[in-house]
Structure 1
């Protein structure tokens, strides 16, 4: 993989990580193609990002990659830096697709977000178990240290922002993951300490869904304060914002942004999409293991989105972006979880085989009305 000097790269997008806050136009200047995209429109407010899928990188989807380069100045690998992709077994590292992601980001002078160093899902069982029995706490911590050190060190020349821990909290308590069961909440602390040791200048984020929940906010802030008392800094919070037509409300999102900002954290909207399909059993989380049986009644828009639903889609995106613009002094980045509807994980979750419309570009790569509406907000 081609390497460039980290300082040279960062100088192209801002002299320090302070560029995350507001002024982020330098990275959008490589080609004239940037001048008409979302990144250019919002350059004086916050960064605009998207997630890139494995298929896009492996198949070199040039049409989609050109669209991403035009519209966005920040990218996240949807899956290719998760443990099972980059390290399918403890003795087997597979850097190929992650390297492609980084090369694309460097070529287009984009801010890249590493996602995610420590998560309970999409990870080999061998991290936690040997012959069906749990590994010791010390052995698991050594594995974590080795993994974080190797991944961050490989990409520290290019990646300066990391989702360090992903989805560790279940409302007002620690999620009972294998990390927690076998290490306790110390794993949260160790993950951030190890990431900071691997790259002292990196911007380190805790990322989760349901961050509009006040109980979850309070639990996270208490955990972060405890880390701070031990000299371990968490720089930002990632609010995934997998939204639906009926929630979370713009006010709930605004309250969360204000609360996290008062606690000294930068706010990143990290995985934004908008599910327009009927809910299943009123489920509103984003736990990846959730899976419901297919029912045609849950998949009503296979031939296209009705006008009244498209209107609601536009209104929801607009009201949420109104909050981001209002609090652009607090919001560092807004990233959607994908670019075009056809690639969204929402087509297969929480029910497989559905046709969803959660993003800003349709299946023909054309911008939707919501796209034009949020651009009008910036101008």
Structure 2
């Protein structure tokens, strides 16, 4: 594929980082070909790391991480079922390595996530007989989990996704086991426990489809409840799992404005843009969603056509134009993965597909979408 035709900044997506730097005299624009440096006056640029990257075996991806990103988050290794698979049995092996990797790269470390209805072991919600545990017991288990994890990384993890995906798309709170057993105040308790464990850490609420008006209104109520009770909340994380052709741009901007008006930061989290057809008219990021794999849902196994490369770049450009307009309120933009080989969109909502939703391809080379984003930094 000839990507040069898409590039106006020093052949960004057509050659290696080093070669590009050597082949242009426009050093102001190239800025060592780093997303982080290009946007350093606006917001942090982050990425999520998987176990191979954290362990150090994926050295090619780690070179991209070191060059391109100044914020790091765990894709999975800090989720409750990984950190505490059995009651009282904590496993910090990967999380420790991730936190050290962030420190070695002077990256802003984000912890993901403390309280979530998914990827939390069953023991958290049940007693020895398999029955739902009591409110008091679950609160104590939550407190122990949060304070053990947060205190371990006190001063190292700079911000935490305290509660993840507790609001329904149509408004109202998700009737998760957290809500069913504890009640709606489980959210307040989670933020309170996290703040007690590290008073200096930033605390976030994180969710998908935050452009939906009903969901946005519910999150506003959530934030105001915390604020009125004097409970710390620093930011709302707007997950950004989008797809080509999905025109949410106006409502995305409305949500940024609305959340910023609450006096908190806005963060764009889990950013990726699928190029594959979604098997439902309702686009979601609900992890329990699953569909059978059919050829019509996996059309680009041998590579992405040039016209879709262009379309993907245009979509990212529309997003970053919005982000740039609101850079005084947005503190971080985090891509959900380093490259297309890593992305969860290869196995969700259909396992075994070949997707291309990120800025770097399977060989960790920058794509035309990378150039589209870089152009908007200047």
Using structure 2 for the length normalisation, give the TM-score. 0.90
List aligned pairs for 1:254-265, cutoff 5 A: 254-265=253-264
| Residue in structure 1 matched with residue 68 of structure 2 by the alignment | 71
Residue in 1 that maps onto 2:211:
212
Question: Pairwise mapping of residues 48-59 of structure 1 onto structure 2 (< 5 A)?
Answer: 48-58=45-55
Name the counterpart of 1:347.
Answer: 346
How is 1:125-164 mapped onto 2 (pairs within 5 angstroms)?
125-130=122-127, 131-164=129-162
SS at match of 2:341: helix
Q: 2:59 corresponds to which residue?
A: 62
Residue in 2 that maps onto 1:271: 270
Q: Flag structure 1 segments of 5+ consecutive residues without an equivalent.
A: 1-32
* Structure 2 gap ranges (5+): 1-29
Tell me the TM-score normalised to structure 1 length: 0.90
1:212–1:248: 8 Å Cα contact kept in structure 2?
Answer: no
- Cα distance in 2 for residues equivalent to 1:46 and 1:246: 26
1:336 equivalent in structure 2 = 335
CA contact (8 A) 1:274 1:359 kept: yes
The aligned counterpart of 2:115 is 118
Following the alignment from structure 2 to structure 1, what is the Cα–Cα distance between the partners of residues 124 and 247? 35
Tell whether the 8 Å contact from 1:51 to 1:337 is kept in structure 2 after alignment.
yes
Q: Is the 8 A contact 2:338 2:360 kept in 1?
A: yes
Structure 1 residues 34 and 96, CA, compared in 2 at 3 Å: closer, same or farther? farther
Q: Residues 143-174 of structure 1, C-alpha deviation per residue, up to 9 Å, x if partnerless? A: 00001100010001311110000000012111
Number of residue pairs the alignment of both structures matches? 347
Residue from 84, 88, 92 that aligns with 1:87: 84
Q: Which moved more, 1:137-146 or 1:241-250?
A: 241-250
What's 1:196 paired with? 195
**Whole-Å Cα distance in 1 between the matches of residues 181 and 58 of structure 2?**
41
How far residue 347 of structure 1 moved from its aligned partner, in angstroms, is 0.1
Tell me: CA distance 1:101–1:34, structure 2 relative to 1, closer, same or farther (3 Å). Answer: farther
Contact 1:34–1:70, Cα closer than 8 Å, also in 2: no
Of 82-91 and 240-249, deviating more is 240-249
The alpha-carbon deviation at position 217 of structure 1 amounts to 1.0
Contact map agreement 1:34 1:71 (CA 8 A) in 2:
no
The equivalent residue for 1:108 is 105
Asked if the contact 2:56/2:62 (under 8 Å) is kept, the reply is no
**Structure 2 SS opposite 1:358:** coil
Cα RMSD for the two superposed structures = 1.3
- List aligned pairs for 1:216-365, cutoff 5 A: 216-365=215-364
Structure 1 runs (4+) deviating above 4 angstroms are none
The residue number in structure 1 matching 2:15 is: none
CA distance in 1, matches of 2:210, 2:42: 22
Pairwise CA distance, 1:34: 8.3
- Per-residue deviation, 1:248: 4.4
Secondary structure in 1 matching 2:280: coil
Classify the secondary structure of the residue corresponding to 1:343: coil
3-state secondary structure, aligned to 1:75: strand
